[in-house]
Amino acid sequence: MDLFKTDILISNINTKTVQDKNIHLDLLRLDLIHPEISGNKWFKLKYNIAFAIENNFKSIVSFGGAYSNHLHALAFAGKEFNIKTIGIIRGEAVENQTLQDCKKWGMDIHFISREQYREKDEVHFLKTIQEEFKTSYIIPEGGNNMLGQKGCVEILSPAQKEKYDLFCCSTGTGATFTGIVNALGGEKKAMGFSAIKNGHYLANEIQQQTPYLNFELQYDYHFGGFAKINDHLKTFMQQFKSEQSFELDRVYTGKMMFGIFDLIETNSLQENTQILAIHTGGLQGNRTYIR
């Protein structure tokens, strides 16, 4: 099922801040692997979709917000692989470009209340979903299951794991970061940047999915919470785009890169550290301002 670009570009981020602190910073451009299924989304979906097809499920159900990169990617993948997709959306019914794309690619959209959505991982709720969509395979929010994590192990190449000292990744559900930690096998350090306010619970959830302890989470770069943004972050992202000639997304990678620069400026990272940060895509979400 590897129909997408595999020779992933690495962009060197050689700003004055990085130079002054004698740090080497590269960005793995997963945003370039495919125009629609960009970033880490394909890695989290590939084995899940293969499992659904191999086991003759008629459709795939998954969950997300109204601007979900995960559901956006799933809808396009469903079209490409000719399997029906169903999106369970948190909150009141809305229209936006993300959902318009999903519908265009054949995804059925179902809105549920935020109270109901908070139960999305509970056994009784999942049983109800399975009863409603009897021939469907259910993928958790963000593709965060064993198959999603298995795909994310493949993000890093052997050469990359050998070259760099520190691997940085934004963290939402934790699936991608868990895959990175498992890929490193305890030999190098991984640093996750929580995109969620009060995301300290992520450490325990990730630890349950990996035998390795070579990771650290940063909790101070959420900018008010998931999908929140302020003028400080906007200015940083605009300056980054002007200097580097490519874009960061507002929900994940923009916050991670801000955090990395802050840690470099405050001497929280050792000199001569070779850093590989991961651009997890999600640029489609920049089309609409997310409050």
pLDDT given for residue 17 in this prediction? 87
Intra-chain end-to-end CA distance of the chain, in Å: 36
Give the residue ranges of DSSP H helices in the chain. Answer: 16-20, 41-54, 69-81, 97-104, 114-117, 123-132, 146-152, 158-163, 175-184, 201-207, 231-244, 253-265
pLDDT (tens place) for every residue of the chain, 291 residues total: 555 555 678 999 999 889 999 999 999 999 999 988 989 999 999 999 999 999 999 999 999 999 999 999 999 999 999 999 999 999 999 999 999 999 999 999 999 999 999 999 999 999 999 999 999 999 999 999 999 999 999 999 999 999 999 999 999 999 999 999 999 999 899 999 999 999 999 999 999 999 999 999 999 999 999 989 999 999 999 999 999 999 999 999 999 999 999 999 999 999 999 999 999 999 998 886 544
pLDDT given for residue 122 in this prediction? 94
pLDDT given for residue 38 in this prediction? 84
Residue 200 phi/psi, 5-degree rounding, is -65, -25
pLDDT given for residue 291 in this prediction? 40
Q: What is the pTM of this model?
A: 0.93
Provide the β-strand partners of residue 171.
Answer: 194
Give the CA angle between residues 238, 39, 66 to the nearest 5°: 80
pLDDT given for residue 289 in this prediction? 54
Cα 37 to Cα 43: distance, rounded to the nearest angstrom = 9
Q: In whole angstroms, how far apart are CA 171 and each of 127, 178, 215?
A: 28, 9, 12
What order do you get walking across the sheet with 59-64 strand by strand? 108-112, 84-90, 59-64, 136-138
pLDDT given for residue 7 in this prediction? 62
Residue 9, number of CB atoms within 10 A of its CB? 14
Q: In whole angstroms, how far apart are CA 290 and each of 66, 88, 134?
A: 10, 19, 34
pLDDT given for residue 35 in this prediction? 87
**What is the set of domains in the chain, with CATH numbers?**
10-35+155-287 (3.40.50.1100), 41-143 (3.40.50.1100)
Cα 287 to Cα 124: distance, rounded to the nearest angstrom = 36
